[in-house]
Amino acid sequence: MMRHAKAVSEVDARGDHARSLADRGRTDAQLVGRRLVALGWSPDRVLSSDAARTRETWDRLSEVLTQPLVPTFTRQLYLAGPAEVVDALFEVDEGARTLLLLGHNPGWEQLVAGLSGQGVEMPTACAALLELEGERPWWQAASTGGWRLVELIRPKTLR
């Protein structure tokens, strides 16, 4: 799970949904992407909010990934809470091995806590790497927990 990178303030945009990335956000998205590749966590599926800042985060992140992917952008993940994210997960191909969810707080922090039992702070461009514990399909565990928080990638530590 990754929160969008640093965006411009709302007064500089045409509303919250249209906010684009700030210069730092563009850089941070690539830093996190490089770290994901280095750790072997390149996604094979991407499910993202359709907001401008999540789209642009994906564009910058995808520039450093090892394989080209076509993301699925959905309004359902725009400012979504855990329940909306879990509902969206049932639309993802169950053959996905590494899924990148790209969205917003506070829903992302709430979902990490619900899945892993660990409270986290997710500043912009932070990625929470979660791994399913046990043998059940990931989509069955989406609403019941059973995930282990492997690592938090924070761009501040990568600069």
Domain boundaries, the chain: 2-157
Classify residue 141 as exposed, middle or buried by CB count within 10 Å of its CB (0-12, 13-18, 19+).
middle
pLDDT recorded at residue 142: 65
Asked whether the predicted pLDDT for residue 12 surpasses 70, the reply is no
Domain 2-157 has CATH 3.30.70.600: no
Supply the pTM of this predicted model: 0.93
Asked whether the predicted pLDDT for residue 82 surpasses 70, the reply is yes
The percent of residues above 70 in pLDDT, for the chain, comes to 92
pLDDT recorded at residue 140: 61
Question: How much is the average pLDDT of 120-124?
Answer: 97
pLDDT recorded at residue 43: 95
